[in-house]
Structure 1
Amino acid sequence: MKYILRLLESPFWALVRKEFRQILRNKQLIVLLIVPPTVQLLIYGTALNPDVHNLRLGVIDYANVEASRELVSAMTSNRVFILESVPTSEKELSRQVEEGKLDVGVIIPPEFPRRLAQKSAEIQVFIDGVDANTAGIASGYMNQIIQQYNRGLAQVQTSSFVSPQVVFLYNPGLTSSWFFVPGVMGLVLTLIGTLVSAVTVVKEKDTGTLEQLLMTPAADWEILLSKIVPLVLLMMGDVLLALTLGLVVFNLPFRGNFLLFFGLSSMYLFVGISLGMMLATITRSQQQVVLTSFFINMPLVQTSGAIAPIEAMPPFFQVLSLLNPLRHYITIVRGILLKGVGIDVLWMNVLALVGFAVVLMTISVKRFRSQLS
């Protein structure tokens, strides 16, 4: 209780209250926080539908005979499937699909050669259905490859064939919006968070109120943090709005932990707003900050996997996307909402967000300190 009272009486809390009052008086800012996210979610969730290739394949070949090896070779002879993993068990294969390391998993049973000699053999195919478009393409190509393989068998032995049993995981109906809406949620939070926070600080530069902060008995990090915290709290309303639209309009499932989702979303908002604050420290006017914001945000969006899968990008950009905080947040959102995974699977993405938050906050504080001095 003593620490709470001390916080309420501190200069930091006074600055936070001032920022809340200032934001709530700005009606244009309130509209910006509500209307664009709603419109963008509805448009992108309905309209987007890109193509993909270079799908990651995992194979368990229990038979391990010439016929099964030829089937695996047929699957990987083009650029649609790339053999990424050869797990030793079905549990390991399922885990790799769940963690997003594989797009397609194939199990060739031990009785494959015997069944093939008896005119019919079945294999099990698991496809990650989170991205409905990718899953549909994977299913179509898998069927084409197996049909071609069967035609090759027909030249050797009549009427023997392989039939795949395809199972779509996490998105059985292959609904495209289930892939796009989580990506658009991250996209909207990035655009709104960076732009609003940057414009808020630059506006204080233009009006001269930034210099008045020199008179406050607060540390420079307290001044900067007092601008970030109110925006994070207000933009959590955008997170709730986007989630509600996803659940109500697009029937998006929510299979994970509710508190984990909102906790990690608030962490990403902190990253996005810190990025906006950093942009505000390197620009001199609202026009400059808007142009710079779009210059920074467009590459973030294009390399995040929000619109087009990362597997469809050139290898250089796939590696470069690891430095994109939006990529990690979208992975977190899709993992929690569609797969129901927890921190044990998403810990690398969480650590990445923490790292981005620390780096951006450190740079912003140093730049902010130099401007105040």
Structure 2
Amino acid sequence: MSPRRLFAIMVKELRQMRRDRITLAMIIGIPVMQLVLFGYAINFTLRDLDTAISDQAATAGSRALVMDMQNTGVINPVRDASSPQELMTMLRRGEISVGVVVPPDFERRRIDGREAVQVLVDGSDTAVQAAAVQLAQTPLDSAAYVRPKPSQISVVGFYNPERRSAINIVPGLIGIILTMTMVLFTAVAIVRERERGNMELLIATPVSSSELMIGKVLPFAGIGLIQTTLVLLLGAWLFDVPVRGSLLDVYAATILLILANLSLGLMISTKAQSQFQAMQMTFFVFLPSILLSGFMFPFSGMPKIIQYLAEVLPLTHFLRLIRGVMLRGASIFELWPEVLALVAFITLMMTTAILRFTKRLD
């Protein structure tokens, strides 16, 4: 073995690596991304949960109680409600995570030692339910009134009262599986045609760019629906995961995510020069999606700037859709902001991919 030849090979590999911008970006980007995400973005302590208040007592004591709850930093009152029924509607639509009900006879209940306050929680997110329980048990000292005892503040968790993790995880797994497979499959689609020499045949045909791109994604859409059906069946059989909403709405939300991921994959395929590069670029999409979308870690615990970044990811909006339909029984029309966000993402990515694609070998 010649040290000189060995050194020459090492230099050659380093120079080739330097010319490969995607690999160089992974060498630097992966440790930086993971450090920032796990050190800065991931936080298990929930703060500023969107909350609606139904203060039917409207006394100085009830207002002081609500103010003390807000001072804990756990809840952030964003809406007022006239009745508990209105709070339930907001919970079902995903507009709030917590609802606080102060009955008209609050003062008498407090003095008699009976249940004086109800905290209604969206239990489809087990982390939110745990934070609400902690809120009810936190001492809230106020000089303005005698605070009800913790036993007088009841926490009622809806949609997952047993706090079973499978009910929260299985609907999200649909999004994770579709994001991982759909983006990866389509990311290598155009690149594979170029590497195998099939692009020469496509150039000689009258097929337009739009026809080629759309024709590439439609078969994968069918595969995505098969994967969704498999997860739904296994989730119901093995873990007793309910589908409280319309099954048609479940598939409508799934189709939106499939199209979003396929259009993103096509966008990546127009940028990558090889299948390996396409897989590398897919990793940069998949890692933030699984960490920032709210699947693994509480969305409300992330800093605001990270939440704004997560709003760009289609998986974030899909998780709100699928959990709202499957666990809370909401219709897809009640969750229209998430639908609109996914449609906008699909339109932007597909249009950009078609404009970037040209039927040329170079």
TM-score, normalising length: structure 1: 0.79
How big is the shift at 1:161?
A: 8.1
* Residue correspondence of structure 1 range 166-245 to structure 2 within 5 A: 166-245=155-234
The equivalent residue for 1:5 is none
The answer to whether residue 135 in structure 2 is matched with residue 141 in structure 1 is yes
Decide which of 143, 146, 164 is 1:153's aligned counterpart.
Answer: 146
Equivalent position to 1:95, from 65, 89, 102: 89
Q: State the distance in 2 between where 1:118 and 1:341 align.
A: 38
Match of 1:111 among 94, 102, 105: 105
* CA RMSD between the two structures: 2.4
What is the rounded CA distance, in whole Å, between the counterparts of 2:56 and 2:223 in structure 1? 54
- Contact kept in structure 1, 2:69 and 2:75, CA below 8 Å: yes
Cα displacement (A) at 1:322: 2.1
| Counterparts of 1:285 and 1:293, CA distance in 2 | 12
Structure 1 119/338 Cα, relative in aligned 2: closer, same or farther at 3 Å?
Answer: closer
- Corresponding residue number in structure 2 for 1:18: none
Secondary structure in 1 aligned to 2:124? coil
Contact 2:74–2:131 (8 Å) recurs in 1: no
| Mapped partners of 1:182, 1:221: distance in 2 | 33
Question: Is residue 333 of structure 2 the alignment partner of residue 344 of structure 1?
Answer: yes
Structure 1 distance, partners of 2:277, 2:157, is: 47
* CA-CA distance at 1:71 after TM superposition: 1.3
CA distance in 1, matches of 2:78, 2:307: 15
Structure 2 CA distance for partners of 1:357 and 1:371, relative to 1, 3 Å: farther
Q: CA deviation at 1:339?
A: 0.8
Deviations 1:310-335 (A, max 9, x none): 11110112222222211111111101
Return the offset for 1:57.
2.4
Deviation of the 1:283 alpha carbon: 0.8
Aligned match of 1:265: 254
Alpha carbons of 1:106 and 1:239: their partners in 2 closer, same or farther (altered >3 Å)? same
> How far does the alpha carbon of each residue in 1:181-223 deviate from its partner, in whole angstroms, 9 at most, with x for none?
2222211211111111112321111111112101222222111
The match for 1:51 is 44
- AA of the residue aligned to 1:105: G
- The 1:369/1:306 distance shift into structure 2, 3 A limit, reads same
Q: Which amino acid aligns with 2:44?
A: D
Which of 79-88 and 313-322 deviates more?
Answer: 79-88
For residue 56 of structure 1, report the CA deviation from its aligned partner: 2.5
Change (3 A) 1:371 1:346: farther
Please give the alpha-carbon distance, in whole angstroms, between the structure 2 residues aligned to 1:67 and 1:162: 17
1:73 is matched with which residue: 64, 67, 87? 67
Gaps of 5+ in 1: 1-49
AA partner of residue 96 (structure 1): M
* Contact 2:203 2:359 survives alignment (8 Å): no
Match of 2:124 in 1: 130
Q: CA deviation at 1:370?
A: 6.0
Relative to structure 1, is the Cα distance of residues 133 and 250 closer, same or farther in structure 2, using a 3 angstrom cutoff? Answer: farther
Read off the aligned partner of 2:225 and give its amino acid letter. M
The correspondence for 1:278, drawn from 244, 249, 267, is: 267
Q: What CA distance in whole angstroms lies between the structure 1 residues aligned with 2:216 and 2:261?
A: 13
User: Would you say 1:165 and 2:159 are equivalent positions?
Assistant: no
CA offsets 1:123-164 (integer angstroms, 9 cap, x no match): 222111101232123113313346x679x838xxxx988712
Matched, 1:83 2:83: no
The verdict on how the C-alpha distance between 1:162 and 1:297 changes in structure 2, with shifts beyond 3 A counting, is: closer
CA distance in 2, matches of 1:160, 1:322: 39
Query: 1:16 — aligned with what?
Result: none
Contact 1:52/1:134 (CA < 8 Å) preserved in 2?
A: no
Task: List runs of 5+ in structure 2 lacking aligned partners.
Answer: 1-42
Pick which of 259-268 and 357-366 moved more: 259-268
- SS for the counterpart of 2:288 is helix
Output the CA distance in 2 between the equivalents of 1:289 and 1:163. Answer: 57
- State the distance in 2 between where 1:121 and 1:257 align: 36
* Count of residues in Structure 1 that have an aligned counterpart in Structure 2: 319
Instruction: Check conservation: 2:57, 2:102, Cα contact below 8 A.
Output: yes
